[in-house]
Chain A
Amino acid sequence: MDQMTNALRGEGIALSFGGIKVLKGLDVDFRAGEITGLIGPNGAGKTSLFNCLTGAYSPQKGTISYAGQPLNGLPPAARAARGIVRSFQHVALCPDLTVRENVMMGLARTGTAGWLSAFLPLPRGRQERSDMARAADAALADLGLPDVGDRHPGELPPGMQRLVEIARAVVGKPSVLMLDEPAAGLNNAETQDLTAALRKLVSPDLVMVVVEHDMDLVMSICDRIYVLNFGEFVAVGSPAEVRSNPDVIRIYLGSDEDE
């Protein structure tokens, strides 16, 4: 399949909370083989759009599809079963699980061992756990965290927790990967590791969407960028096109009239 047929598409996505229109009929076309950036000021509607695409919110209008298959009405778990996964703006790791186990949860949808294996030491369950643990360790190592698997999330600094969450998102080899502010809380070295890891993930079958405030990161890794403001797109294009767009400059730097 080419990158067009593997795309995550939304047409006319509209979402309101009470009388407040959060998303105003958005058309999106997130293509496989690319990293697409979604930027905009706070409150622009980026996370709401994410939530509509992953099924956490149900938009009042519009259609959402992946690879030509409609996703409207499917709950998040059903979308996850189709390989559509996300990370969260606020780190959502389970404190009761070790770091490795948190990452293993990214593979939960692929598990086949039944309930009997959950309570008894049957070979199938043990094999599943050891396979998942191995994949989790590899995902952590790819993100520069090879030695933290046995620790608990609370023992790690916020930046590392963010990377663990990204490892959980990528470990299951998703078909759509949506990262909500992945670089938030990361230091420079960690951001560089993340940048390198995201570049390595690019493949012809993977749709990758990144919501991010770190403009250096967005401009350096994204092939296309959507700029959202007050629930509407004000610009779509390559990093160079977006950087020179007067509306984007006005939104981010402020116009003379604002001063």
Chain B
Amino acid sequence: MSDQVSHMPSPPSALSRLSGLATPGVTAVVLVTLLLFLPALLGGSWTFTLGLCFANSIGVLAVSLLVRYGGEVSIGHTFFTALGAYSVGVLDTRYGISLWASVPLALVLGVAFGLLFAWPSRNLHGIYLAVTTLALALAVPEMINNFDGLTGGYEGLYVATPFLPGVDMGAQRYYVALAMLVLVCFAVARLRLSRQGMALLLAKTHPAAADAFGTRRVWARISVMGISGGVGALCGATLAFSGSTVSPGGFTFWQAIFLLVGSVVSFYGLSLPRVLIGGAFVTLVPQLLSASGAWIPVLYGLALLGMILIGHYMPRIRKALNRNRETG
């Protein structure tokens, strides 16, 4: 009897049954449900910070999109985030127009400038394209200051018009950012299943094969930059609304680097959990380290290294845990 029992396959544990249910869709739904109720458990300042975290997650997603679909790295995405943020800021401050109109404008401008940037740089790759995007990042603060009549210069702009009149503004700054992040992640997940998304992936790995089946590699490169620029602008629009202020300090070269760091930390993931990890790293780590004085750069570097190592060894750790569970 005991032999028979020992040869029978052991029933799946509750944990393994749960992990079997954890499809990307289910994980995203659970995560969003948790985030919907989080403000009820947290204080106002944390709710505000998480709103910024969601906005930065969209920026991380914009950079990761360029890597995953175009095979290129950008160190200048603050150009697009600034474009989105000032679309919201200028329309709100100067004309009292809310997100209903400024977000579509931000998206259109982000896509348009992405395409405009991509056309002359369509034959640049790797480090050459990255350095070209650097020029964008370096130009942004100067451009904002030069157009101070519109942008408010160093002082910036204050975004105060509610998205939904009559609803608490603090809650709006959190939930609008969350909704925007979920919508962008959903749209990007749809892109992966579309003919255009598949063609972009083929063009990234085998441009000649993509060409041979009707996908021009120039079209692919320009399209990816347009999409990434549009998502970058949505990040900026969300940052402006959730952060309530728009100023040149939010769009420096270092902010562009932090978006790239967030993308690396999330291993260029495009799913909601992955981009949230990247956005949380960009937003929360500097905040958590803010009391560390001169140690901030060192601790930030260690945190970055730790995240990369955890991500790198995670598959092995998971495999070892599964093995232990099976033998146990």
Contacts and interface: CB of A to CB of B under 8 A. Distances in A.
A14 B191 CA distance: 43
Contacts of A115: 196
Nearest to B187: A119
Contacts of A81: 214
Interface stretch (A16-24, A87-95, A205-213): A87-95
Interface string A171-215: 010000000000000000000000000000000000000000000
Interface string A89-133: 000111111000110111011010101011111000100110010
Interface stretch (A72-80, A217-225, A235-243): A72-80
Given A92-B206, A95-B205, A118 B214 contact: no
A95 B190 CA distance: 19
A168 interface: yes
A120 B186 CA distance: 8
A111 B204 CA distance: 19
A47 B101 CA distance: 54
Interface in B186-228: 187-188, 190-191, 193-199, 201-202, 204-206, 208-216, 219
A117 B194 contact: yes
A108 B195 contact: yes
B198 A92 contact: no
A156 interface: no
Given A77-B216, A109-B214, A88 B208 contact: yes
B191 A108 contact: no
Given A94-B206, A119-B187, A54 B212 contact: yes
A56 interface: yes
B272 to A, nearest CB: 16
A94 B196 contact: no
B199 A105 contact: yes
B208 A76 contact: yes
A85 interface: yes
B212 A118 contact: no
B205 A94 contact: yes
A128 B195 contact: yes
B202 A97 contact: yes
Interface in B227-286: none
A89 B274 CA distance: 37
B208 A118 contact: no
Nearest to B203: A94
Given A76-B211, A105-B213, A125 B194 contact: yes
A89 B175 CA distance: 53
B213 A119 contact: no
A46 interface: no
Given A56-B208, A88-B208, A119-B191, A104 B214 contact: no
A118 B211 contact: no
A118 B216 contact: no
A162 interface: no
A104 B198 contact: yes
B194 A80 contact: no
Interface string B87-119: 000000000000000000000000000000000
Given A97-B202, A132-B195, A118 B190 contact: yes
B153 to A, nearest CB: 36
A111 B190 CA distance: 16
A86 interface: yes
A88 B209 contact: yes
A95 B196 CA distance: 16
A234 to B, nearest CB: 28
B208 A75 contact: no
Interface of A: 54-56, 75-77, 80-81, 85-86, 88, 92-97, 101-102, 104-106, 108-109, 111, 113, 115, 117-121, 125, 128-129, 132, 168, 172
19 contacts: A55-B211, A75-B216, A76-B212, A77-B212, A77-B216, A92-B208, A94-B205, A96-B205, A105-B215, A108-B198, A108-B199, A109-B213, A109-B214, A117-B194, A118-B191, A118-B196, A119-B194, A121-B190, A125-B194
Given A77-B215, A105-B199, 4 more contacts: A75-B211, A80-B214, A106-B213, A119-B188
